[in-house]
Chains A and B, each alone.
Chain A
Amino acid sequence: MISKALVAASLKPFILSILADGESYGYEIIQRVHDLTGGQVQWTTGTLYPLLHSLENKNLLESFWREADAGPRRKYYRLTAKGYKALATEKQQWLSIHEALLKLWGPSPTLSPA
Chain B
Amino acid sequence: MFHLDTALAAWRRSLSTNRTFSNDDLDELEQHLRDQIAALVKNGQSEKAAFEQAMATMGEYGAVEREYEKVYWEKLWRRGMLQNELSWKLSMFKNYLTVALRNLRKQKGYSFINIAGLALGLTCFILIGLFIRFEWSYDRFHAKADRIYRIEKINPGHTYLERDHFAITPAPLAAVLMEEFPEVEHAVYLDKVNAGLAYKDNQFYEDGLLATAHFFEVFGFHLLHGDSHTALMEPNAIVLTESLTQKYFGEETALGKAITVTYFGPHGPDALEMTVTGIIEDVPPNSHLVFDYITPFASSAMFQRNRDSWGTSTSYTYATLQAGQPVSAFANKLAALSQTYNDDEDNPDDQSYYYPQVLTHIHLRSNANFEFGVNGNITYVYLFGAIAVLILLIASINYVNLATARSTTRLMEVGVRKVMGAHRLQLVSQFMGEALLSSMAALLLALGLVVLLLPTFNALTARAITLDWAQDGPFLALLALIGFVIGTLAGSYPALVMSAFQPVRMMKKQVGHAQGKTTLRNVLVVAQFSVTIALFIGAVVIQRQLHYIQNASSGIDRDHVVALPIKDESLLERYDAIKNALQQHPAILGVTASETDPTMIDMRATTSDWEGAPEGQQASAYFTPIHYGFVDMFGIEVVEGRDFSEAITTDATEGILINETLKRQLGWDTAIGKRLNFYGRDTHVIGVVQDFTFQSFRQELAPLALLLAPEDVVRILIKVRPSNTPQTINFIEDALTSFSPDFPFEYYFLDDAYNSMYQTELRLGSLFNTFTLLALIIACLGLFGLATLAASQRTKEIGVRKVLGATLTDVLVLLSKDFVRLVGIALVLGMPIAYFVMRTWLDAFAYHISLSWGTFVAAGIAALTIALLTVSYQALKAALADPVKSLRYE
Chain A residues proximal to chain B, CB less than 8 Å? 25-27, 31, 42, 44-47, 49-51, 53-54, 57-58, 65, 71-75
Contacts of A65 in B (CB 8 A): 24
Query: CB distance B27 to A45 under 8 Å?
Result: no
What 8 pairs between A and B have smallest CB-CB spacing? A46-B59, A46-B64, A50-B67, A44-B59, A27-B35, A57-B74, A54-B71, A75-B28
Contacts of B71 in A (CB 8 A): 50, 53-54, 57
| Nearest chain A CB to B65 CB, angstrom units | 8
> In this complex, which of A25, A42, A46, A65 has the most chain B Cβ atoms within 10 angstroms of its Cβ?
A46
Contacts of A27 in B (CB 8 A): 31-32, 35-36
B617 CB within 8 Å of chain A: no
Q: How does the 8 Å CB contact mask read for B269-285 relative to A, with 1 for contact and 0 for none?
A: 00000000000000000
CA–CA, A108 and B30, complex, Å: 45
Chain B residue at minimum C-beta to C-beta distance from A68:
B31
CA–CA, A54 and B78, complex, Å: 10
B846 CB within 8 Å of chain A: no
Given A44-B59, A46-B59, A54-B71, also A72-B27 (CB < 8 A): yes
Contacts of A47 in B (CB 8 A): 59, 63, 67
Chain A residue at minimum C-beta to C-beta distance from B29:
A49
Query: CB distance B75 to A44 under 8 Å?
Result: no
Query: CB distance B29 to A45 under 8 Å?
Result: yes
Given A26-B32, A27-B36, A57-B74, also A50-B57 (CB < 8 A): no
Chain A residue at minimum C-beta to C-beta distance from B24:
A75
Query: CB distance B35 to A50 under 8 Å?
Result: no
CA–CA, A50 and B27, complex, Å: 14
Given A50-B67, A75-B24, also A45-B74 (CB < 8 A): no
Query: CB distance B58 to A75 under 8 Å?
Result: no
CA–CA, A51 and B63, complex, Å: 13
Contact of B57 among A45, A49, A53 (CB under 8 A): A45
CA–CA, A22 and B728, complex, Å: 115
Chain A residue at minimum C-beta to C-beta distance from B68:
A50
| Nearest chain B CB to A18 CB, angstrom units | 15
Query: CB distance A42 to B31 under 8 Å?
Result: no
| Nearest chain B CB to A9 CB, angstrom units | 16
| Nearest chain A CB to B194 CB, angstrom units | 84
Query: CB distance A49 to B28 under 8 Å?
Result: yes
Q: Helix, strand, loop or mixed for chain B's interface?
A: helix
| Nearest chain B CB to A23 CB, angstrom units | 14
CA–CA, A54 and B73, complex, Å: 10
Contact of A57 among B24, B34, B36, B75 (CB under 8 A): B75
> In this complex, which of B29, B36, B71 has the most chain A Cβ atoms within 10 angstroms of its Cβ?
B71
B821 CB within 8 Å of chain A: no
Given A53-B71, A54-B71, A57-B75, also A46-B63 (CB < 8 A): yes
Query: CB distance B34 to A71 under 8 Å?
Result: yes
CA–CA, A46 and B78, complex, Å: 21
CA–CA, A63 and B59, complex, Å: 23
Contacts of A46 in B (CB 8 A): 58-60, 63-64, 67
| Nearest chain B CB to A82 CB, angstrom units | 14
| Nearest chain A CB to B56 CB, angstrom units | 9
Query: CB distance A72 to B31 under 8 Å?
Result: yes
CA–CA, A71 and B38, complex, Å: 12
Q: How many A-B residue pairs have CB under 8 A?
A: 72
| Nearest chain A CB to B184 CB, angstrom units | 71
Q: State which residues 25-50 of B face A: CB under 8 Å.
A: 25, 27-36, 39
Chain A residue at minimum C-beta to C-beta distance from B56:
A44
Contact of A45 among B24, B32, B75, B78 (CB under 8 A): B32
Contacts of A57 in B (CB 8 A): 71, 74-75, 77-78
Chain A residue at minimum C-beta to C-beta distance from B61:
A46
Contacts of A53 in B (CB 8 A): 25, 68, 71, 74-75
Contacts of A25 in B (CB 8 A): 31
> In this complex, which of A44, A45, A51, A73 has the most chain B Cβ atoms within 10 angstroms of its Cβ?
A45
Contact of B27 among A31, A58, A75 (CB under 8 A): A75
B70 CB within 8 Å of chain A: yes
Query: CB distance A49 to B75 under 8 Å?
Result: no
| Residue contacts A-B, CB under 8 angstroms, 6 given | A27-B36, A45-B29, A45-B59, A49-B32, A50-B68, A57-B77
Contact of A75 among B31, B64, B74 (CB under 8 A): B31
CA–CA, A65 and B28, complex, Å: 9
Contacts of A58 in B (CB 8 A): 74
Contacts of B59 in A (CB 8 A): 44-47
CA–CA, A102 and B32, complex, Å: 38
Query: CB distance A45 to B31 under 8 Å?
Result: no
CA–CA, A43 and B101, complex, Å: 49
CA–CA, A53 and B29, complex, Å: 12
CA–CA, A42 and B58, complex, Å: 11
| Nearest chain B CB to A55 CB, angstrom units | 9
Q: State which residues 48-97 of B face A: CB under 8 Å.
A: 54, 57-60, 63-64, 67-68, 70-71, 74-75, 77-78
CA–CA, A15 and B34, complex, Å: 21
CA–CA, A51 and B74, complex, Å: 12
- Seed contacts A45-B32, A53-B68, A71-B34; 15 additional CB < 8 Å A-B pairs: A27-B35, A42-B57, A44-B58, A44-B63, A45-B59, A46-B67, A47-B63, A49-B67, A50-B68, A50-B71, A51-B67, A54-B70, A54-B74, A57-B78, A65-B24
CA–CA, A54 and B75, complex, Å: 8
CA–CA, A48 and B527, complex, Å: 58
> In this complex, which of B28, B36, B59 has the most chain A Cβ atoms within 10 angstroms of its Cβ?
B28
Query: CB distance B57 to A44 under 8 Å?
Result: yes
Contacts of A45 in B (CB 8 A): 29, 32-33, 36, 54, 57-59, 64
CA–CA, A36 and B247, complex, Å: 99
| Nearest chain A CB to B63 CB, angstrom units | 5
Contacts of B27 in A (CB 8 A): 72-73, 75
Q: State which residues 8-37 of B face A: CB under 8 Å.
A: 24-25, 27-36
| Nearest chain B CB to A47 CB, angstrom units | 6
